[in-house]
Structure 1
Amino acid sequence: MLTRIEWSKADEQTRQRLFKRPSLGSDAFKVAQAILEDVRERGDAAVFEYAERLDGWAPEAGFRVSSAELKAAADALTPADRDAILAAADAVRAFHAEQGYRAYEVETWEGARAGRRVTPIDVAGLYVPAGTAPLVSTLIMLAVPAQLAQVPRIAVIAPPRKGLGVEPTVLAAAQLLGVAEVYAIGGAHGVAALGLGVAGLPKADKIFGPGNAYVAAAKSLLAQSPDGAAADLPAGPSEVMVIADDEADAELVAIDLLSQAEHDVLAQVVLVAYSEAFASQVEDEIERLLGLLPRAETARAALANSRLVLVTSDEEAAEAANAYASEHLIIQTGSPRALAEKVRHAGSIFLGAWTPEAAGDYAAGPNHALPTSGAARAYGGVTVEMFQKTTTMLELSQKTLETLGPVVERLATLEGLDAHRLAMVLRRNRKSAQ
């Protein structure tokens, strides 16, 4: 079922080809670029046309969900659902409360006060996937750190169901979390509207949240544009790598793989196994469990792009994990923490048989908005710091000019930038004349 490779026998080219993400072969960037250009050129009209054609939802009154609808959705929740959402938010808040940039001030030269100030971004745009699977958990993962960072305006966009608006559970979660600004629009056109500030949406300073290949492409393209919003991190179709030795529970390994495969036809799962016999057991369990899943068709499509890596040691397993740099890494081996110490590149790591990735997806505390497509080599998951920015501040005294001045002047001379040199010389002369 899974495409196989023996790690020790594969050359570098084969390994790279094996780990190519399925979304990289899509037309996402081409399509997203065309949508962004159209929205820039035609503004509101383009957004409403895409929304009608792609979402089946483009009300004349605009995309914003009313406060009455948010309240009605929250009131309709069962007590158990309400408690689950609030409990998850509490855990996420507890984990992220330890984060955030620190303001400070130091003396770098005598009389020189150098400091850093921390402020939130003005407008955070949150993308909450809510099409085939309404991800209430993503709203929690994004809204809570934004609130901890004290972002003054949080705007959520969520894809509507065809002709029905946003899934009520997403609206209910927004109400419970105190997020009042929700817009029923998604896809690349929704990202374009949020990033450019058209069709009644605010212009976000930065857009957060995972999405399909088109959403990820639109975020990336906007971040490269002078008039567009910044992006949190590359977050496209979901992926997981599971490292499991022969003592692992094949059923648990299989369900962890399927937990990601059911997300999206472009999702990818990778099993790293220590023997062909155990790998075959896992494949048998996958086939059996597929029969129990309502989203089996989606999972089967994802499994067609998935991989099996056969290794002979923890060292090889860690090497494969670092090469793949997965969004989620689950380790079900005899010494999971020891193996994790060898892994440098992963968005989030789940240790041991009792730690399913599903716990991290929903309510354990760490953020589930994570880098995909190998971006874990350079990025981590969403944090409070991502909603903040720092500004450095510097104040010199006349006394500082005596020691700092000659250094600045010398370096400016080395670079041939005479105005820089004179900016200090003139000040030192003023001081001498006093």
Structure 2
Amino acid sequence: MEYLVPIEWGKCTKLQRQTLLTRPKTTSSMNVEQTVFNILNEVKIHGDKALYDLNIKLDKISLTDLHVTSQQISASSMMIGNKLKKAMKNAFDNITTFHQAQILNLVDLETQTGVRCQQITRPIKSVGLYIPSGSAALFSTVFMLAIPARIAGCKNIVICSPPPISNEILYAANLCKITEIYQVGGSQAIAALGFGTKTIPRVDKIFGPGNVYVTEAKKQISQRLEGIEIDMPAGPSELLIIADNNANPEFIAADLLSQSEHGPDSQVILLTTSLKLATKVATTIKKQLINLKRKNIIIQSLNNSLIIVLKDLQECIELSNMYGPEHLMIQTSTPRNILKLVNNAGSIFLGPWSPESAGDYASGTNHVLPTSGYTKTLSGLSIIDFQKIITVQEITAQGLMNLSSTIETLAAAEKLDAHRKAVSLRVAVLKEKV
């Protein structure tokens, strides 16, 4: 079977070009929307009982306690080998280092004499972190969410993950000093975090990726009257690679396959100036695919994916910016020359020695990124997502005297007389003291 047969952009019609980069349709449907709607209401009305019932119905697990005890969290350390512990600690350290550097510098200045303005940050008090655990326990997501939440200063950090929660997830949470962990997954976990139950507290903002039901639940709960803030819209994973004729086809094939294994609706794209490279990559994909464990998932993803041959790198960049990928790899002779031309991407990987897997796990950057073209307006997760920015102003008497004419003139021009009087009354008091 042929996968990713190279397409020559120059030979495509205008209509073909318009439809080529259309993202695959997700499995979301009216049925998913209604199912999620019903689950949200069930949890809102019946609380913990609904969570226990849904654990049995959906995850086939009967629990006596949703809460993971501190003893269970501590015991996870005994169930993990030293090699994995060492790797997890290395990733933890790198992610911590990068996110600590994101702490905003204090803004504190006089915009004019006697007018002091500041920008300060305050943490979101309570956050809920959803950690997926379907065909694979994504313990790396614990680091990507809990580390910036800790650095931001969030006081209450709650994790929800489908039962049974793996020892790897518990150990990652332990490294991040998270002790409030609950065994509940899917849209019911989002409902619990959004509404609160007797056991699980309501949070102020929900973070984390998930399947189509989790995504739909986050969308619905954020739109309710009593709704809650969410991190960002989440869709199927994406990777786009820009490569010239000097790129290594073995590397490119491996990178495309690595992102394809996230799910059947993932999409990977190669944009290249070389038909020879494109053909070699397509051949190499078939060879590398044979022994991969998630082969069936990858094949479905490859059916959504593309290799496109363009006339030059400028055309590749323009097409990439139009698509706005979640992950962008630049495997060209001088990748930094291209970097300055990239406007839309969630996370960028430069050169042959920067696999996308590094960003997923251990380089230090965050792997929670906008998808579905949202990179045109949204950024990847950072500590600022766990904080609020507050501005402060303090004006001296003389400072107000100096600024008053400007304020009064502008307020009068906007016909906001009360605004003007709030200043003029003060000015009158100051003039009486002179």
| Structure 1 residues 74 and 236, CA gap change in structure 2 (3 angstroms) | farther
Task: Give the percent of matched residue pairs that are identical in Structure 1 and Structure 2.
Answer: 39
> Could you tell me which residue of structure 1 aligns to residue 114 of structure 2?
111
| Structure 1 residues 236 and 201, CA gap change in structure 2 (3 angstroms) | farther
Tell me the SS of whatever aligns to 1:74: helix
Q: Work out whether 1:420 is the aligned partner of 2:424.
A: no
Map residues 118-197 of structure 1 onto 2, 5 A cutoff: 118-160=121-163, 165-197=164-196
Q: Work out whether 1:403 is the aligned partner of 2:419.
A: no
Partners of 2:230 and 2:155 in 1: CA distance: 18
| Structure 1 residues 148 and 108, CA gap change in structure 2 (3 angstroms) | same
Tell me the SS of whatever aligns to 2:269: strand
Partners of 2:316 and 2:106 in 1: CA distance: 41
State whether residues 51 and 184 of structure 2, in contact with CA within 8 Å, keep that contact through their aligned partners in structure 1: no
Shift in Å at residue 98 of structure 1?
A: 1.0
State whether residues 3 and 306 of structure 1, in contact with CA within 8 Å, keep that contact through their aligned partners in structure 2: no
> Could you tell me which residue of structure 2 aligns to residue 303 of structure 1?
302
| Structure 1 residues 111 and 342, CA gap change in structure 2 (3 angstroms) | closer
Partners of 1:2 and 1:250 in 2: CA distance: 13
Note the alpha carbon deviations across 1:295-314, whole angstroms, 9 max, x for none: 11111111111122221210
Q: Work out whether 1:55 is the aligned partner of 2:54.
A: no
Partners of 1:78 and 1:311 in 2: CA distance: 47
Shift in Å at residue 86 of structure 1?
A: 0.7
Q: 19, 22, 36: which is aligned to 1:20?
A: 22
Between stretches 332-341 and 46-55, larger displacement belongs to 46-55
Tell me the SS of whatever aligns to 2:345: coil
Map residues 314-325 of structure 1 onto 2, 5 A cutoff: 314-325=313-324
> Could you tell me which residue of structure 1 aligns to residue 83 of structure 2?
80
> Could you tell me which residue of structure 2 aligns to residue 200 of structure 1?
199
Letter in 2 for 1:235: A
> Could you tell me which residue of structure 1 aligns to residue 92 of structure 2?
89
User: Root-mean-square deviation (CA), in Å?
Assistant: 2.2
Partners of 1:172 and 1:15 in 2: CA distance: 47
| Structure 1 residues 199 and 235, CA gap change in structure 2 (3 angstroms) | farther
Note the alpha carbon deviations across 1:339-381, whole angstroms, 9 max, x for none: 2322211111111222111111111111111111111111221
Between stretches 280-289 and 343-352, larger displacement belongs to 280-289
Tell me the SS of whatever aligns to 2:368: coil
Shift in Å at residue 38 of structure 1?
A: 4.5
Partners of 1:350 and 1:117 in 2: CA distance: 32
Between stretches 200-209 and 318-327, larger displacement belongs to 200-209
State whether residues 23 and 213 of structure 1, in contact with CA within 8 Å, keep that contact through their aligned partners in structure 2: no
| Structure 1 residues 381 and 45, CA gap change in structure 2 (3 angstroms) | same
State whether residues 27 and 212 of structure 2, in contact with CA within 8 Å, keep that contact through their aligned partners in structure 1: no
> Could you tell me which residue of structure 1 aligns to residue 257 of structure 2?
258
> Could you tell me which residue of structure 2 aligns to residue 331 of structure 1?
330
| Structure 1 residues 291 and 208, CA gap change in structure 2 (3 angstroms) | same
Partners of 1:48 and 1:32 in 2: CA distance: 17
Partners of 1:316 and 1:326 in 2: CA distance: 16
State whether residues 103 and 117 of structure 1, in contact with CA within 8 Å, keep that contact through their aligned partners in structure 2: yes
Partners of 2:266 and 2:15 in 1: CA distance: 22
Map residues 270-281 of structure 1 onto 2, 5 A cutoff: 270-281=269-280
Tell me the SS of whatever aligns to 1:22: coil
State whether residues 38 and 46 of structure 1, in contact with CA within 8 Å, keep that contact through their aligned partners in structure 2: yes
Shift in Å at residue 432 of structure 1?
A: 3.0
Shift in Å at residue 109 of structure 1?
A: 3.6
Partners of 1:138 and 1:407 in 2: CA distance: 51
| Structure 1 residues 363 and 6, CA gap change in structure 2 (3 angstroms) | same
Letter in 2 for 1:50: L
Between stretches 96-105 and 22-31, larger displacement belongs to 22-31
> Could you tell me which residue of structure 2 aligns to residue 385 of structure 1?
384
State whether residues 146 and 154 of structure 1, in contact with CA within 8 Å, keep that contact through their aligned partners in structure 2: yes
Letter in 2 for 1:182: I
State whether residues 142 and 208 of structure 1, in contact with CA within 8 Å, keep that contact through their aligned partners in structure 2: yes
Structure 2 residue runs of 5 or longer lacking an equivalent are: none
Shift in Å at residue 383 of structure 1?
A: 1.0
Note the alpha carbon deviations across 1:202-251, whole angstroms, 9 max, x for none: 22222222222332333233334442222222333211112223332222
State whether residues 242 and 330 of structure 1, in contact with CA within 8 Å, keep that contact through their aligned partners in structure 2: yes
Tell me the SS of whatever aligns to 1:107: strand
| Structure 1 residues 56 and 307, CA gap change in structure 2 (3 angstroms) | same
| Structure 1 residues 425 and 70, CA gap change in structure 2 (3 angstroms) | same
> Could you tell me which residue of structure 1 aligns to residue 69 of structure 2?
66
What TM-score, normalized by structure 2, do the two folds share? 0.91
